[in-house]
A and B are shown apart, each in its own frame.
Chain A
Amino acid sequence: MSERSIIQDRERVEALLRKRVRERRSELLRKSGARAAFFVLLILVWQGLAAAGLWSELLFPHPRQVLDSLVVTFGDGSMPLAMLASIRRLAIGYSLSLLIGIPLGLLLGRIKLLDNTLGTMALGLQALPSICWMPLAVLWFGLSEVSMQFVVVMGAVMAIILAVRDGVKNIPRLYIRASRVLGATGWKGYLYVILPASMPALLTGARLGWSFAWRALMAAELIYVGSGLGSTLMMGRELHDMPLVIATMIVIVVIGLLADRLLFGTLEKRLHRRWGVSGG
């Protein structure tokens, strides 16, 4: 190929790339536009229904009232405080679940005996909704922070163990054989091959564990009235403060979504880029 045609080619490629970028941008715009329009419509319908006065305002508040409730609770600091209390509990309970779940999952994936015993138990306990641990936790630890964290750990750890175990089991045999040939045996094999090779599964497990932990915590806080978003929700019910109930629900959804999208979404994207499409 002559030099000139290479240059022409490069120009053509660049033009094509520019066009792709433009297309992708407009597609993104269309998508987020549709999404925004949907939510605006939803709020309008809500507003319309509330204005129609079909139900008592006590049961079906205006969007405006919910917004006011958000403004007030954020303004007087009660909502941020509740958020902080919940997030702190979650951070402790969830970190513990990861610290227990990931190593156990890695071991279970490689050691048959452990999988047949502990793995079966984890699978069984996975069937138990995490809030069912609450009575036991209260008897053991009293109505305390420890009880709540216990429930969070029990809710998240089984899912993490099982997801990581499945990931380890699905590591291509070729990697294991290659690692043996190249001298990665024993702890080196774990650290340099099994652990990185199960990264996608680890991330799936962590994401799943997060959503279980979040659900478990909210359930526990609903029962244990003290602090946190769950108890704010309960307080709203007791005070018959429907706007507060809905406002808190919105906060819970937003926190869950943000963690899922921002934290795990970003990590997953980065992993996919590194591994290529097939690896992720």
Chain B
Amino acid sequence: MPKVLLDNVSKLFLSDSGPLQVLSNVTLPIEEGEFLCVLGASGCGKSTLLNLVAGLEKPDHGRVLVGGKEVSGPGPDRVVMFQEAALFPWLTAVQNVAFGLKMAGVGRRERQERAMELLSLVKLSSFANSWIHELSGGMRQRVALAAALALDPEILLMDEPFAALDAQTRDQLHVEIESIWEQTGKTIIFVTHNVREAVRLGTRVLLMSPRSGGICREYPINLPRHRHLEDVELVKIASVLRDDLRDEMRGSGVADV
């Protein structure tokens, strides 16, 4: 049984210019321990897919199953990491990491310990008591990652988490998220519009397009791990994906990838 199953899911949005079918009859199984990258231009429904699994949105038709059970709302087994670090400015870094544990009713000492562990995992121990506005963009995403891991979710949902970071910071975070995935075996769904990032991280890459109302192509990535963005093989695969993505865009009338 797949860890996550989108079963014939449709989702419609009402915009000013009329109804917009972002997902139409999408069926997608995701296996446990998979690192699934979802690729597409903005407006193709990739964030919607993520929000459906997170339980932040409900499908208009079809079902979303996680571990065989239908999703009815957000849960601690599925934590989302947003593009813009979703950290609370009234809490320090360590308090932000511990927030989910506090909500789950974990005792003060235990959650403090756990939060400090996670902060050291993302190499931010010395910033535990900093306010959020004192941290750089990359540091904020690290704190957000630690906060997401605090609840020890089985599924990590990442919505373009590194899109706003500079290349170097992104490289570092790729290494970190990859090693966390290898060590914990979590199922990760990672949404991005960066083709090479998708190939760099994913065990499988999905291409989404608004024209087809969802997933149009799928690529298993069998490159050995600890890949680099500059690897020749990686770049080759990425260029194939990019061409396919362009074709899809052209077909849908959406220019510019």
Contact = CB atoms under 8 A, between A and B. Distances in A.
Do A and B assemble together?
A: yes
Given A192-B102, A275-B133, A276-B134, A182 B89 contact: no
B207 interface: no
Interface string A101-116: 0000000000000000
A182 B56 contact: no
B90 A182 contact: no
Contacts of B100: 182-183
A55 interface: no
Nearest to A174: B86
B184 to A, nearest CB: 18
Contact of A177 (B82, B99, B102): B82
A269 interface: no
Interface in B112-137: 131-134
A196 B132 CA distance: 15
Interface string A228-251: 000000000000000000000000
Nearest to B153: A181
Interface residues of B, number: 27
Interface in A244-280: 274-279
Given A196-B90, A276-B89, A182 B99 contact: yes
Contact of B79 (A175, A182, A197): A182
B80 A181 contact: yes
A187 to B, nearest CB: 11
A181 B74 contact: yes
Contacts of A278: 133
Nearest to B73: A180
A274 to B, nearest CB: 6
A197 B132 CA distance: 14
A137 interface: no
Chain A interface category by residue count = 20 to 34
B210 to A, nearest CB: 23
Contact of B90 (A177, A188, A274): A274
B151 A182 contact: yes
Given A181-B74, A274-B131, A277-B133, A197 B90 contact: yes
Interface string A59-94: 000000000000000000000000000000000000
Nearest to A182: B100
B93 interface: no
B76 interface: yes
A174 B132 contact: no
B56 A196 contact: no
B121 to A, nearest CB: 18
Contacts of B79: 181-182
A223 interface: no
Interface of A: 174-175, 177-178, 180-184, 188, 192-193, 196-197, 199, 274-279
Interface of B: 54, 56, 73-76, 78-80, 82, 84, 86, 88-91, 99-100, 102-104, 131-134, 147, 151
Given A177-B86, A193-B88, A196-B90, 5 more contacts: A177-B56, A177-B80, A177-B82, A183-B104, A276-B89
